[in-house]
Amino acid sequence: MQGQRITPVVIGAAALDDLLDTLRVSGFRVLGPRVRDGAIVYDDLSAASELPIGWTDEQDGGSYRLKRREDGARFGYAVGPHSWKQFLFRPEARLWRARRLPDGELAVEEEPTEDQPMAFIGVRSCELHAIEIQDRVFMGGRHADRDYAARRDGAFLVAVNCITAGGTCFCASMGTGPKADAGYDLALTELLDGEHRFLAESGSERGAAVLAQLPQRPATDADLGAAGKAVAATEAQMGRTLDTDDIRNLLARNLEHPRWDDVAERCLSCGNCTQVCPTCFCSSVEDTSDLSGEVAQRTRVWDTCFSVDYSHIHGGSVRSSTRARYRQWMTHKLGTWIDQFGTSGCVGCGRCITWCPVGIDITEELSAIRATEDDDAQTA
Ligand code: SF4
Ligand code: SF4
């Protein structure tokens, strides 16, 4: 029944604790946003009081600051450095372990998969789209990723429609937000006009079952109107835009554009943009053994197309320059991803812009390339 909705209802801010308790009693590990180390991150949540109450974020290229809001909004921020990717496609995951037996044979132990299902609280629309993209990457082919599939299968997603756009957000341009349209079990819109409340809608049978257990009242036209206005205001506030018109072919036509040299002079090849991106999925494996040589293991770790080693094929790296690595990242994300998976690899969350130490902005880089084609067309 994914996608089937019942009539929206209204729950009070205090019902968030009931929601967390209901999920916990149903066996979920409950994860959500919290303030830690000067940022809003995703971690275990034991009570709604741990949410970032009264906090917002200010974001721009290479800059992120938390700021106090004048209200008690629970979800009055955009997205932070974390994404849900870390719980589904883990930064480090042991794949197997092998032990040498007394008779000299090797016993290979398969790594157990996660048993406890997870509930994600506060999933933004762009993040739902990012999860859908990674579902296709890890589970869409003939060989599903066992660890990802085990974690993803039971996950309960509580979406929150955005009431504040970040300075680097551009989901409206990518058609991925700011309102959640599918892929959630429950969707909430926080309403701060008058009574502090949430418009709540279910998107699945189990979402409806959880919602039925919360104290609630039917939504009025005024509630629905306030929710529509809040999301429309967020769309109008979006910090960035990206013109997606003919984007795949635009990039394919411009593989030798001088802008790649320009961006290479600024890019540090640090890979931050790929680590914070909710859709990037590059990984490598590391084999280690203990000092006695009796136990060995293989571990999968996140990698990045910005590292020289990542594209090392016999004889050396096929992308030895920063120019080649940045071009690979951006043309894959915005262009060839469409050939590979049928959608863009970018959901417009803006994290790569905010967390780039030198403020390189994917929307600006694309516009610079598009602008020269537009100029050429005018002078032709
Ligand atoms: S490329 Fe940048 S804006 Fe697009 S999804 Fe990744 S981090 Fe977000
Ligand atoms: S674009 Fe920015 S974040 Fe990405 S590798 Fe270059 S310097 Fe690092």
Nearest to 164 by CA among 69, 243, 96: 69
Token duo for residue 301: 């770790």
- The reply to whether ligand 2 has any atom less than 6 angstroms from the CB of 358 is yes
CA dist 348 to 270, 332, 367, Å?
Answer: 21, 15, 15
Token duo for residue 256: 């030798």
Please give the distance, rounded to the nearest whole angstrom, from the Cα atom of residue 263 to the centre of ligand 2.
10
Task: Determine the Cα–Cα distance for residues 29 and 176; give it in Å rounded to an integer.
Answer: 27
Beta-carbon neighbour count of residue 62 at 10 Å?
16
Map the chain to HEC letters.
CCCCCCCCEEEECCHHHHHHHHHHHCCCEEEEEEEECCEEEEEECCCHHHCCCCEEEEEECCEEEEEECCCCCCCCCCCCCCCCHHHHCCCEEEEEEEEECCCCCEEEEECCCCCCCEEEEEECHHHHHHHHHHHHHHHCCCCCCHHHHHHHHCCEEEEECCCCCCCCCCHHHHCCCCCCCCCCCEEEEEECCCCCEEEEEECCHHHHHHHHCCCCEECCHHHHHHHHHHHHHHHHHCCCCCCCCCHHHHHHHCCCCCHHHHHHHHCCCCCHHHHHCCCCCCEEEEEEECCCCCEEEEEEEECCCCCHHHHEECCEECCCCHHHHHHHHHHHHHHHHHHHHCCCCCCCCCHHHHCCCCCCCHHHHHHHHHHHHHHHHHHC
* Geometric angle at alpha carbon 173, from 168 and 174, rounded to 5°: 100
Pocket of ligand 1 (CB under 6 A): 276-279, 333, 346-352, 362
Which ligand has the nearest atom to the CA of 353? 1
Which ligand has the nearest atom to the CA of 281? 1
User: Whose C-alpha lies nearest to ligand 1, atom 1?
Assistant: 346
Q: Are 372 and 257 in contact (CB under 8 A)?
A: yes
Q: How far does Cα 229 stand from its chain's mean position?
A: 25
- Longest Cα separation, the chain: 78
**Amino acid (1-letter code) at residue 7:** T
The answer to pTM > 0.85 is yes
Which ligand has the nearest atom to the CA of 280? 1
Q: Are 309 and 271 in contact (CB under 8 A)?
A: no
Task: Determine the Cα–Cα distance for residues 361 and 366; give it in Å rounded to an integer.
Answer: 9
Please give the distance, rounded to the nearest whole angstrom, from the Cα atom of residue 78 to the centre of ligand 2.
21
pLDDT of residue 6: 64
Q: Are 325 and 305 in contact (CB under 8 A)?
A: yes
pLDDT of residue 108: 95
CB burial of residue 122 (10 Å; 0-12, 13-18, 19+)? buried
pLDDT of residue 309: 86
Task: Determine the Cα–Cα distance for residues 223 and 139; give it in Å rounded to an integer.
Answer: 38
Give the number of the atom of ligand 1 that is nearest the alpha carbon of residue 273. 7
The strand pair at 118-123 and 156-160 is best described as parallel
User: Whose C-alpha lies nearest to ligand 1, atom 6?
Assistant: 277
Mean pLDDT by 10 residues, the chain (380 residues): 67 98 98 98 98 98 97 96 98 96 92 93 98 97 93 97 96 97 97 96 97 97 96 95 97 97 98 98 95 93 93 85 97 97 97 98 98 74
For a substitution probing ligand 2, which of 262, 263, 269 has the most ligand atoms within 8 Å of its CB?
269
pLDDT of residue 147: 95
Q: Are 347 and 279 in contact (CB under 8 A)?
A: yes
Contacts of 175 (CB under 8 A, 6+ apart): none
Beta-carbon neighbour count of residue 280 at 10 Å?
26
User: Whose C-alpha lies nearest to ligand 2, atom 8?
Assistant: 270
Please give the distance, rounded to the nearest whole angstrom, from the Cα atom of residue 169 to the centre of ligand 1.
9
Please give the distance, rounded to the nearest whole angstrom, from the Cα atom of residue 316 to the centre of ligand 1.
29
Token duo for residue 188: 């909430």
In the chain, what are the domain boundaries?
Answer: 2-236, 247-377
pLDDT of residue 311: 85
Please give the distance, rounded to the nearest whole angstrom, from the Cα atom of residue 60 to the centre of ligand 2.
15
Nearest to 160 by CA among 355, 346, 25, 13: 13
